[in-house]
Amino acid sequence: MAIKVMNNKDTEKSERTTAMDTPKPPFLKSLDTKNWGEFTRELTHYKSLGGTKNWIEMVEASTLAVITDISDVPDLKSAENQEKAFNAVEQVFASTKAIGLYDSLSACKMERRLSIDALLRYN
């Protein structure tokens, strides 16, 4: 039976690999348009990297209470209720996203005809 002795370099490399493989979950401290948008983007990224933590575990207790009030879902223990609450908050902020998109696109001026260059220049 062979026993492999790991030196400090092997241990450090192993710890670095583990730290890089574990995605860092986002955290929502307060509920507003900017924070919710950042949280949902980071949550999507976290899940795409294999993150398994539930989104309600990443929300501050006072903010979770506000989400419970907004969603009108008193119990967030079931996955179905958590999804309802998440979708309710998405609906609250959906109108501000649409208005922002409209404002951005309305600033785009076309020259005589539809032009991809004109569309890309508005950024």
**For the chain, what percent of residues have pLDDT higher than 70?**
60
Mean pLDDT is lowest, of 7-16, 25-34, 38-47, for: 7-16
The pLDDT of residue 64 is 93
What's the whole-number mean pLDDT along residues 62-82? Answer: 91
- The SS3 of residue 28 is strand
Q: 75 pLDDT exceeds 70? A: yes
Q: 23 pLDDT exceeds 80? A: yes
Residue with tokens 């890309």: 120
pLDDT mean across residues, the chain: 79
Judge residue 31's burial from the number of C-beta atoms within 10 Å of its C-beta, 0-12 exposed, 13-18 middle, 19 or more buried.
Answer: buried
What's the whole-number mean pLDDT along residues 15-42? Answer: 82
| Residue 17 banded pLDDT, cuts 50, 70, 90 | very low
Q: Is 50 left (phi over 0), alpha (psi -120 to 50) or beta?
A: left
The pLDDT of residue 74 is 83
The pLDDT of residue 16 is 47
Sign of CA dihedral 26, 91, 80, 78: positive
Which of 104, 72, 63, 106 minimizes the C-alpha distance to 91?
72
> CA 28 from chain center: how many Å?
9
What confidence tens digit (pLDDT) does each residue in 27-36 have?
A: 999 999 899 9
Q: 60 pLDDT exceeds 70? A: yes
